[in-house]
């Protein structure tokens, strides 16, 4: 039986793995698809992580993983199917093996929200994408649309505008929610067209691929189709906490309720990173979570107190 099983290998999971290894805990980190980094691998440029300004998200994830590998952190490539609380023993069922540990740290973060409109699933991977840095290269010289108005949406639009012919940014309000520095970059680009006060209502296509997105203007009540080859959806995130339902208390949005110590309401179960209830979800805060939660885990393993 392991001391600790960490589920997820984003910034929080990688940091926790490093700290747990240094604390001499018998630990495994379970990740899917041999891919560490979580959401940051989808980020073209990380400009707010101290010491590494402007680093590519994938490169930052690789550096974190290399650090963990150098220290001997034990990674297991598997998909977790079920989590079971047996009191002092926590059992993790994966698609390959069953693991047991005294404590479990959940760091699987959050995923992309969907629009929930007709055509979105039909044209998923055929023009509809949730990752501009992953798929943007397919749309060089073409017209695309970005749906959303927050930091991620604006970052995606800036990235796409460097290669695409034209980028529509569709936002439901008349001003963006993104930070001012990103807005300044966006508005300085001459191939960006803002579609204000509008919501996407349908992805349309021809011959099995996306040909446009229908939008509805909430102020005028009019509809139109933007002729685009790609639609990039950036309307927020949803926590990947399905595995812990029935085990740990969650808020009404599905985030696991825990404080800075990462302790949930169930002894032996901890959470760190974007899946936790918190105000700010950034790489730096995820790393901080991963570091601080290991102290709580060590105390629990040593004393048994919750």
Give the range of the structural domain holding residue 192, as residue numbers without chain letter. Answer: 114-233
Q: Judge if 118 and 220 occupy the same domain.
A: yes
The answer to whether residues 120 and 23 belong to one domain is: no
Report the DSSP pairing between strands 2-7 and 27-31: parallel
Structure-model confidence comparison of residues 301 and 46, the more confident one: 301
Last-in-domain residue among 203, 233, 263: 233
CB proximity list for 306: less than 8 A, separation 6 or greater: 263, 267, 268, 300
135 catalytic per annotation: yes
As a whole number, the mean pLDDT across the chain is 95
> Tell me: the pLDDT tens digits for 259-306?
999 999 999 999 999 999 998 888 999 999 999 999 999 999 999 999
In the predicted model, is pLDDT for residue 46 greater than 90? no
> Is the domain of 184 the same as that of 293?
no
Among the candidates 206, 233, 260, a domain finishes at: 233
pLDDT tens readout for residues 47-105: 788 998 889 888 999 999 999 999 999 999 999 999 999 999 999 999 999 999 999 99
Confirm whether 261 is a catalytic residue: no
**Are the CB atoms for 239 and 156 separated by under 8 Å?**
no
Q: Long-range CB contacts (< 8 A, 24+ apart) of 202-208? A: 202/117, 202/118, 202/119, 203/117, 203/118, 203/119, 203/120, 203/122, 203/123, 203/127, 203/128, 203/231, 204/119, 205/119, 205/122, 205/123, 205/126, 205/127, 208/126
Q: Residues 165-175: pLDDT tens digits? A: 999 999 999 99
Q: How many angstroms separate the CA atoms of 132 and 83, rounded?
A: 33
Residues 33 and 56 in one domain: yes
Among candidate residues 134, 174, 223, 251, the one labeled active-site is 134
Tell me: do 38 and 73 sit in the same domain: yes
pLDDT band at 154 (very low <50, low <70, confident <90, very high): very high
One domain for residues 93 and 30: yes
Q: What is the pTM of this model?
A: 0.79
Q: What are phi and psi of 26, to 5 degrees?
A: -80, 100
* Alpha-carbon span 253 to 276, nearest angstrom: 11
Q: Based on the domain organization, do 122 and 220 belong to the same domain?
A: yes
Choose the catalytic residue: 26, 59, 85, 131: 131
Parallel/antiparallel/unpaired status of strands 75-77 and 27-31: parallel
88 with 145, same domain: the answer is no
Identify the active-site residue in 135, 229, 274, 289: 135
For residue 60, give the nearest of 291, 233, 282, 295 by alpha carbon: 282
Please indicate whether residue 248 is annotated as part of the active site: no
- Is there a contact between 90 and 40 (Cβ–Cβ < 8 Å)? no
Confidence of residue 38 (pLDDT cuts 50, 70, 90): confident
Last residue of a domain, one of 205, 233, 261: 233
CATH at residue 66: 3.50.50.60
Number of domain units in the chain = 2
């Amino acid at each position: 039986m392991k001391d600790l099983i960490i589920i997820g290998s984003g910034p929080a999971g990688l940091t926790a793995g490093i700290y747990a290894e240094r604390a001499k805990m018998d630990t495994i980190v379970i990740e899917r698809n041999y891919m560490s980094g979580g959401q940051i691998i989808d980020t073209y440029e990380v400009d707010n992580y101290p010491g590494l300004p402007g680093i590519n998200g994938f490169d930052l994830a690789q550096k974190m993983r290399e650090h963990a590998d150098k220290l001997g952190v034990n990674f297991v490539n598997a998909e977790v199917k079920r989590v079971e609380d047996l009191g002092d023993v926590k059992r993790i069922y994966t698609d390959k093996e069953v693991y047991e540990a005294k404590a479990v740290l959940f760091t699987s973060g959050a995923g992309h929200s969907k629009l929930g409109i007709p055509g979105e699933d039909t044209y998923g991977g055929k023009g509809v994408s949730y990752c501009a840095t992953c798929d943007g290269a397919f749309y060089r010289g073409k017209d695309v649309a970005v749906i959303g108005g927050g930091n991620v949406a604006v970052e995606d639009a800036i990235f796409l505008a460097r290669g695409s012919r034209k980028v529509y940014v569709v936002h439901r309000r008349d001003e963006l929610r993104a930070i001012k520095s990103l807005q300044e970059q966006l508005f300085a680009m001459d191939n960006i067209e803002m579609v204000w006060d509008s919501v996407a209502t349908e992805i349309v296509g021809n011959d099995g691929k996306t040909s446009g997105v229908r939008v509805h203007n909430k102020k005028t009540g009019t509809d139109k189709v933007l002729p685009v080859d790609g639609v990039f959806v950036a309307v927020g995130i949803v926590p990947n906490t399905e595995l812990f339902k029935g085990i740990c208390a969650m808020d009404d949005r599905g985030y696991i309720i825990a404080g800075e110590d990462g302790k949930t309401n169930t002894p032996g179960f901890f959470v760190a990173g974007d899946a936790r209830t918190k105000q700010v979800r950034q790489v730096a805060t995820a790393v901080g979570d991963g570091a601080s939660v290991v102290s709580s885990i060590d105390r629990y393993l040593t004393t048994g107190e919750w």
